[in-house]
Structure 1
Amino acid sequence: MATSMNIPPLSFITSSFLCVLLFGARGLCEPVPGMYVFGDSLVDVGNNNYLPLSLAKANLPHNGVDFPTGKATGRFSNGRNAADFLAEKVGLPSAPPFLSLVSRFKKLSSSNATVTGVSFASGGAGILDGTDELYRQSIPLTKQVGYYSLVHEQLVQQLDSDEAQAHLSKSLFVVVIGSNDLFNYFNKNSKASKEYTPQQFVDLMVSTLKGLLKRLYELGAHKFVISGVGVIGCCPVQRKHSATGDCNEEINTWSMKYNDGLKSLLQEFMTESSDIHYSYCETYDVMNNLIQHPETYEFTEIKEACCGRGTLKAEFPCTPISTYCSNRKNHLFWDLYHPTEHTSSLFADSIYSGPQQTTFPMNVEQLVNV
């Protein structure tokens, strides 16, 4: 008597064979063929190293002390950041910094690296132009999207228009940005606070971001991974202003209000175009949970930075003259602004496979299969 076997249909075998035959070497048959990252220092993998005037660089020790090479790479971390962990989870290499692919003549190289992804993220960057006034030079989101248009043009040339569209429709477009806009607004010397009320400012952030997301959609993006702003009033540089190390609740309040506007934007965005899918991570709640229940995640220090100098090690950034903690896994923060590698791995876990309470309408694991 014949027994049934789990043999895939011939059409599947044929299409899979053709896909591998045509594109296998370039990874276009993978569930996630590419990951394109936009954002700030939370996901910067070294773009700022190529900006001669930038004050926001992490290209010196003790940054990178736990990176596989043991060296500083431009990541604002003791090791890898959330973008690195997310790439690993979807089976891709970490996306290279865009500026590493650009020649001194400002021409994009013909490297195949753009197929599996590129990072445009830049420390100090904001949604709004001019947010980097504290750091002198960064790549604002408007310019990051402009750089992506060059990558899109190259992909069309490499793969042809239809193949490029198929590739990009399955790729992930990761956007982690907004903290610097709020930091800049609430800075005592802020120009923006003289021009806008806090509500007007977060509304401007949201409307500007919507226009840039639409532009990415026009350039082939269909699957978005969007992170809300975290509990940024609780980072060491904000806590140091309180004698008891308390959080800055004003900036936390407006972080939540921005996140509310962002969630409304994404719902509108999806209804306007039926082929758009997204995963939104409520980073605020994820981060707040780490702060409220540190013992669950083996944290013993949630206020003081691991690397720095002065009060809460937040008076000075992480540089060779700073001191750093011996156990990075028990610290929530690496430096005055940024999470440790361990914290970033927990964020990536939430983004990839978190429950619907914090990652909705689906997590990245589900988004991949849409």
Structure 2
Amino acid sequence: MTCNMSTYCTVITIILLLCKNNVQGIVPAVYIFGDSLADVGNNNYLQLSLPKANFPHNGIDYPGHEATGRFSNGKNFADFLAQNLGLQTSPPYLSLSYKSNNSSVYLTGVSFASGGAGILNSTNSGECISFDQQIDYYLTVYGSIVQQLGTVQAQDHLSKSVFAIVIGSNELLHYVKSNSASKETPQQFVDSIIPTLQGQLKRIYNLGARRFVFMGTGPISCCPALRAQNKTNECNAGGNYASVLYNQAASSLLNEMSTQFTDMSYSFLDTSTVVMQYIQQPSAYGFTEVKSACCGLGDLNAKVACVPIATYCSNRSNHIFWDFYHQTEATARMVVSTAFDGSAPLVYPLSIKQLTS
């Protein structure tokens, strides 16, 4: 069919695309912000970035045994979130920005997550896409969607989409590592970063987000890298307490926002409590190794990252941790399953399933 009205044809194409997406998925799109727990390849495009995972043995269990840039033996949080919502994984923003005629792709979701990213711009500065920069990139996407659909349709599309956020772990890691007598108390540390997070979440809301999924930080001091700093290889209680305080503050912040903005809803996962259950009762969840990383070298496989010269375990499904910081595919799958179908006190006030119904 030949059409002389290019604008009309473009609108029809977009409508058909949106209808197709709504048939296939529970929501039209998922927009992902965060760090390495959700990075699906953005850091591959950062030339000066050290936090990368686009080499073996990462991806050994990913379809095609491909190292895609995920800090995992297979799929991560972003993959399982999309899978549970009946969607394809949102592609990394930087992979789209290098292509032409990509605007319609934004309608099905985009991932801005970047390994090493934090709430503060100073966190791993120059080596990742900071949370503020991720929101700047989203602003570009937002403008493109408005241009395609018009303001009213764009807001309708975005209000039905999911905005997932996984952020805060890198600040917590830096806090625990900078162990000194004069450092801030855990409460002081959390209080120093929450105002920045508040501004960032409100900015995303002002750009059309209405359904938020927020993954709290895990028990940060139980990761192999921090366990290896202790002679007993046990978790550092102080570091984990900071994670608990951060999760409480982030949850309270979302609650305040939902009170202020009555058209906003959210699902918050207490990842710290969820993963601690795996650590304290591993057999109940199918795990046998809770301390050592599957891939690495040295004590607890935590002295060297998962690089080609590292060794890796034969059974990844019974390990909680893949490398010295990141969880295995098996752990990520279980965490997202809880976020999707679980209930209070682990996930609240809504599960993801309830949020998107």
Instruction: Please report the TM-score for the alignment, with normalisation by the length of structure 2.
Output: 0.92
Cα distance in 2 for partners of 1:355, 1:41 equals 26
Superposed CA deviations along residues 160-187 of structure 1, whole A, max 9, x for unmatched, are: 2111111000000000010101111232
User: CA offset at residue 129 of structure 1?
Assistant: 1.0
The correspondence of residues 237-276 of structure 1 with structure 2, limited to 5 A, is: 237-276=225-264
Distance 1:75 1:197, change over 3 A: same
Tell me which of 219, 223, 229 is aligned to 1:235. Answer: 223
**8 Å contact kept, 1:23–1:29:** no
Cα distance in 2 for partners of 1:181, 1:188 equals 11
Structure 1 residue aligned with 2:348 = 360
User: CA offset at residue 273 of structure 1?
Assistant: 0.6
Where in structure 2 are there 5+ consecutive unaligned residues? 1-11
Tell me which of 168, 174, 184 is aligned to 1:178. Answer: 168
Structure 2 residue aligned with 1:118 = 110
**8 Å contact kept, 2:82–2:89:** yes
Which stretch of the first structure deviates more once superposed, 224-233 or 155-164?
155-164
Structure 1 residue aligned with 2:49 = 54
Cα distance in 2 for partners of 1:195, 1:305 equals 29
The correspondence of residues 83-94 of structure 1 with structure 2, limited to 5 A, is: 83-94=78-89
Cα distance in 1 for partners of 2:292, 2:304 equals 12
Structure 2 residue aligned with 1:332 = 320
Structure 2 residue aligned with 1:294 = 282
Tell me which of 143, 155, 160 is aligned to 2:145. Answer: 155
Structure 1 residue aligned with 2:22 = 29
2:269 paired with 1:281: yes
Cα distance in 1 for partners of 2:14, 2:42 equals 32
Superposed CA deviations along residues 279-330 of structure 1, whole A, max 9, x for unmatched, are: 0000011001101110011111000000000010000000110000000001
Tell me which of 73, 76, 79 is aligned to 1:78. Answer: 73
User: CA offset at residue 108 of structure 1?
Assistant: 7.4
**8 Å contact kept, 1:56–1:123:** yes
**8 Å contact kept, 1:231–1:284:** yes
Structure 2 residue aligned with 1:308 = 296
Structure 2 residue aligned with 1:349 = 337
Where in structure 1 are there 5+ consecutive unaligned residues? 1-19
User: CA offset at residue 245 of structure 1?
Assistant: 1.1
**8 Å contact kept, 2:103–2:145:** no
Count of residues paired in the alignment:
344
Instruction: Please report the TM-score for the alignment, with normalisation by the length of structure 1.
Output: 0.89
Tell me which of 39, 53, 56 is aligned to 1:44. Answer: 39
Q: Which amino acid aligns with 1:270?
A: S
User: CA offset at residue 249 of structure 1?
Assistant: 1.1
**8 Å contact kept, 2:103–2:144:** no
Structure 2 residue aligned with 1:145 = 135
Cα distance in 2 for partners of 1:290, 1:155 equals 41
Superposed CA deviations along residues 45-81 of structure 1, whole A, max 9, x for unmatched, are: 0111111111100010000000002110000000000
**8 Å contact kept, 2:218–2:272:** yes
User: CA offset at residue 194 of structure 1?
Assistant: 6.8
Which stretch of the first structure deviates more once superposed, 354-363 or 26-35?
26-35
Distance 1:189 1:242, change over 3 A: closer
Superposed CA deviations along residues 258-289 of structure 1, whole A, max 9, x for unmatched, are: 11111111111110010000000000110011
* Aligned Cα root-mean-square deviation (Å): 2.0
Superposed CA deviations along residues 24-50 of structure 1, whole A, max 9, x for unmatched, are: 423453540000000000000011111
Cα distance in 2 for partners of 1:354, 1:268 equals 22
Structure 1 residue aligned with 2:9 = none
**8 Å contact kept, 2:42–2:94:** yes
Cα distance in 2 for partners of 1:368, 1:51 equals 33
Which stretch of the first structure deviates more once superposed, 194-203 or 338-347?
194-203
Q: Which amino acid aligns with 1:60?
A: F
User: CA offset at residue 111 of structure 1?
Assistant: 3.9
**8 Å contact kept, 1:108–1:150:** no
Structure 2 residue aligned with 1:67 = 62
**8 Å contact kept, 2:14–2:104:** no
User: CA offset at residue 203 of structure 1?
Assistant: 1.3
Structure 2 residue aligned with 1:166 = 156
